[in-house]
Amino acid sequence: MNLVFLGPPGSGKGTQAKKLAEKLGYVHLSTGDVLRQAVADGTELGKKADGYMKAGELVPDDLIIGLIEEQVSAGKLKNGFILDGFPRTIPQAESLRDMLKKYQVSLDKAVLLDVGEDEIMKRLLNRAKIEGRPDDTEDVIKNRIEVYKQQTAPIVEFYKGESILQTVRGEDTPENVFNALLQVAQ
Ligand code: AP5
């Protein structure tokens, strides 16, 4: 099954996608992880993305779409994948639909992890103490939530329209969320 994971920052997309991909033998592709690695390696992509990420803004669509198309055209996203953090805008969702069609790959479900704002803030401020991610400060988290509402939440309707949206309650223990995801992911 080929899946995209949607949800606000801190909803558990990365935690669950990684675990689920291991369990089911799927490919897990997180655009956030790819970008953080590019920043750490000081690549051209990393240099372009760094400022946007630190401010909690989205990196421009063309950079991200190019990155995903490389994976699809190389046949790396075919039988069993989870896209985590992509798409994040309507143009990204439309590009994904078009490129999957071009390479005859299906998208089976868009899974929305539903978590409220208070819980998001709590989780990310807690992570800040452990990992020190530069975008996990209170102001930047607030901006990331705002960016999610403005630019990413509309793709929930997009996938409703494609009849592949599935919502999972993300405000539960990691184990319960995982079990709920397992039900929808196979
Ligand atoms: P990205 O890395 O995708 O950040 P995000 O969406 O803000 O995601 P997070 O990693 O904060 O949250 P998550 O939902 O994965 O939750 P997690 O499992 O980590 O993107 C970072 C930046 O890159 C963006 O701001 C943007 O600049 C850029 N970018 C990336 N993709 C892009 C795109 N497509 N287009 C444009 N720009 C893009 O969990 C969070 C914390 O909560 C962890 O500490 C975890 O241990 C904890 N936790 C998880 N589940 C639970 C639970 N059930 N109960 C309690 N705690 C939990």
* Ligand 1 lined by 15 (C-beta under 6 Å): yes
Q: What is the mean pLDDT of residues 33-60?
A: 97
Ligand 1 center to 31 CA (angstroms): 10
CB 6 within 8 Å of CB 85 = no
**Smallest Cα–Cα separation from 185: which of 69, 22, 8?**
22
* Ligand 1 lined by 12 (C-beta under 6 Å): yes
Residue 16 Cα: closest atom of ligand 1: 18
Q: What is the pLDDT of residue 78?
A: 87
In this prediction, residue 131 has a pLDDT band, given cuts at 50, 70 and 90, of very high
Residue 186 in this model has a pLDDT that exceeds 80: no
Q: What is the mean pLDDT of residues 1-9?
A: 97
pLDDT over 90 percentage in the chain: 96
* Ligand 1 lined by 151 (C-beta under 6 Å): no
In this prediction, residue 79 has a pLDDT band, given cuts at 50, 70 and 90, of confident
**Smallest Cα–Cα separation from 54: which of 153, 144, 149?**
144
H or E stretch at 165: strand 165-169
Q: What is the pLDDT of residue 55?
A: 98
